[in-house]
Amino acid sequence: MEFYCVSCKQKRETNDYYEITTKRNRRAAVAKCPICGTGMYRIMGRTTPAKTTEI
């Protein structure tokens, strides 16, 4: 999946991510920039909360 690293200011493609559910019941994907290690987030949209952890 493609993420945007705010530290590198570039898009990063990685399959090493996991999904979480935010407190507002939004699914998001979390990954780590392979270059600088900064956390990258991507909102997936609203769906039914699954077995995930909250931010």
What's the CA gap between 45 and 55, in Å, rounded?
Answer: 15
Chain positions 15 to 34 lying near Zn ion, rule: CB under 5 A, are 33
Under the criterion CB under 5 A, does residue 35 sit at the interface with Zn ion?
yes
Give the largest CA-CA distance in the chain.
33
Q: Which helix (H) or strand (E) holds 11?
A: strand 10-13
Q: Which stretch binds Zn ion (CB under 5 A): 6-14, 15-23, 24-32, 41-49?
A: 6-14
Nearer to Zn ion, 28 or 31 (CB): 31
Instruction: Point out which residues bind Zn ion (CB under 5 A).
Output: 5, 7-8, 33, 35-36, 38
